[in-house]
Each structure stands twice: as C-alpha cells, then as structure tokens.
Amino acid sequence: MIDSRAVIDPGAELDSDVEVGPFAVIGPHVRVGRGSRIGPHAVLDGHTTLGEACQVFSHAAVGTIPQDLKYRGEPTVLEVGARTVIREFVTMNTGTAGGGGVTRVGTDCLFMAYSHVAHDCLLGNHVIMANAATLAGHITVEDWVIVGGLTAVHQFVRVGEHAILGGCSAVVKDVPPYVSASGNRAKLYGLNLTGLKRRGLTPAAILALRGAYRMIFQGEGETVGACLDAVRASPHMEVPEVGRFVEFIAQSERGVTR
C-alpha cells in the first residue's frame, strides 16, 4: 500500500508490494525491493538500492549526499542489503568519488535511532548499531559486529568480525575480530566470549583464540610483529579463526586497539 500523501518521483522503482507511509519522500534514482516498508516522513534519495523486506522508520534519511566538503555532486551509490532495519532518524550517506563511490550495508542489519553511516563505509551482515552510534567516512565493519550506543568510530578504522564496541566509546584504531573494546580512547577487554558462544564457535576455537590473544596483547617486552610470529609458529594456528585474527592485525595500517 502506498499512501496518497507520499511523494514518489516517477523515476523511482518500487516493487509491487512495497508499503510507503504518509509524507515519505522517495527520489528518482531509488530502488526498493519487494516486501519493504517505508515509514511516514522517511526520505530516500540518491542512487540508493534497498533489498527485499527492509524496514525504514519515520524521519530516517537514507541515501542523502555525503557530509564531505570535497563532494561535487557526482553520482555515487548507497546499497542496503535485504531485511535490514533502519529506525527513526537514522542517516546514511552515499559514497564519494575519492572513496570508491559506494557506501554498502549488508543483510540483516539493525540501525537503532539516530545512528549514522557516513560516506564510503562498507558494512557486513548482521551488524547492529545502537542508538546514536556514529561511523565516520571510509570505515569497514565486518560481519556480526555490535557498536554500542553513543560510540564514535574514526574515519578509515576497520572493525573485525564478531567484535563488540562498548557504549560511549571513541574508537580511533582498528579493532581486531572476536574482541571486546570500550572506552575513550577505546581499549581491549579480552574476547567477546558471549558473542562467540552465540555464534557457535567451539570451546576449542575459543581456547585457541584466547591463547593467541594473550600472546599478542598480554606479552611483555615484544613487538607486535614478534608476537604475531610466535602465534604463527604455535599450535593455535590450526584453528581458522586464529589465522583470521593474526591476518587482520598484520594488515592494519592505522595500528590496532590494545
């Protein structure tokens, strides 16, 4: 059902069963997948694509132009995966030419009220951003990450899969996968044990990750590179998650949260 009071550009592409509430505004280059629901007063603009069964609540602004002074009106893109929920007053911007031109959000994500996804961010699947959490530009957030309320993440930071960021944190360096980080500036507080158990990691895998974590972040008098080499030479590397953990840290350009 499309409310007669909605403003929808003739160029927009909406599947036949999309619902649009009163006073919603949908721009000419927007595509909305089947089964999606657009709430009252929501704004969808730019070259934006929503997957199937998405929900956009009232007063969200999705696909608006980047908050970047270098932006000159070039056609850039926002892609939102299926079954993602975008709550009240959430803002999501399209990409910039200098950042690859695409802001991408995965499937089955939840963005609580007032959270923000800036230009050129790349988010995986099952990401949760709590109320007023904020991502600056060019950030990568991998699958199953949780960002606590009022947390701000610095531009170009990477957050690894299954990590959890505590509320009211300021994250300025990369956050490795599988960990818990919190504070201003954020520090590590061990593994995200609750999240790893919920995701079905075996006790053996969690034990190996714990061993690798201790070798890298709780050793004394060794460089990070030396610690990574020690983990690579250890039996912990038989666990695929440990390999991913080591690879993420080794590839960090900003340095990792510790």
pLDDT (tens digit per residue) in 66-75: 999 999 999 9
Q: Could you say which of 45, 120, 143, 174 is catalytic?
A: 120
**pTM summary value:** 0.97
Check if CATH label 1.20.1180 holds for domain 197-250.
Answer: yes
Task: Give yes or no: 154 in active site.
Answer: no
Domain extents in the chain: 7-138, 197-250
Beta strands of 16-60 (E only): which ranges? 19-20, 25-26, 31-32, 37-38, 43-44, 47-50, 55-56
Q: Quote the pLDDT of residue 235.
A: 97
pLDDT digits (tens, 9 = 90+) for 125-159: 999 999 999 999 999 999 999 999 999 999 999 99
Q: Quote the pLDDT of residue 220.
A: 72
Q: Quote the pLDDT of residue 16.
A: 86
Region 56-63: mean pLDDT is 98
**Has residue 223 got a pLDDT over 80?**
yes
Q: Quote the pLDDT of residue 44.
A: 98
Mean pLDDT, the chain, rounded, equals 97
Q: Quote the pLDDT of residue 226.
A: 94
Q: Could you say which of 21, 137, 160, 166 is catalytic?
A: 137
Q: Quote the pLDDT of residue 36.
A: 98
**Has residue 25 got a pLDDT over 90?**
yes
Task: Give yes or no: 148 in active site.
Answer: no
**What are residue 154's phi and psi, to 5 degrees?**
-70, 150
Q: Could you say which of 29, 116, 119, 126 is catalytic?
A: 119
Q: Do domains 7-138 and 197-250 have the same CATH topology?
A: no
Q: Computed over its alpha carbons, how large is the radius of gyration of the chain?
A: 20
Task: Give yes or no: 119 in active site.
Answer: yes
Q: Quote the pLDDT of residue 236.
A: 97
Q: How confident is the model at residue 17 (pLDDT cuts 50, 70, 90)?
A: very high
CA distances from 5 to 56, 92, 158, 226 (A): 17, 24, 41, 64
Region 92-109: mean pLDDT is 98
| Residue 224: how many other CB atoms lie within 10 Å | 16
**Has residue 169 got a pLDDT over 90?**
yes
Q: Quote the pLDDT of residue 222.
A: 82
Region 93-113: mean pLDDT is 98
Q: Quote the pLDDT of residue 219.
A: 78
Q: Look up the CATH superfamily of 7-138.
A: Hexapeptide repeat proteins (2.160.10.10)
Helices 240-250 and 224-232, interaxial angle, to 10°? 160
**Has residue 221 got a pLDDT over 80?**
no
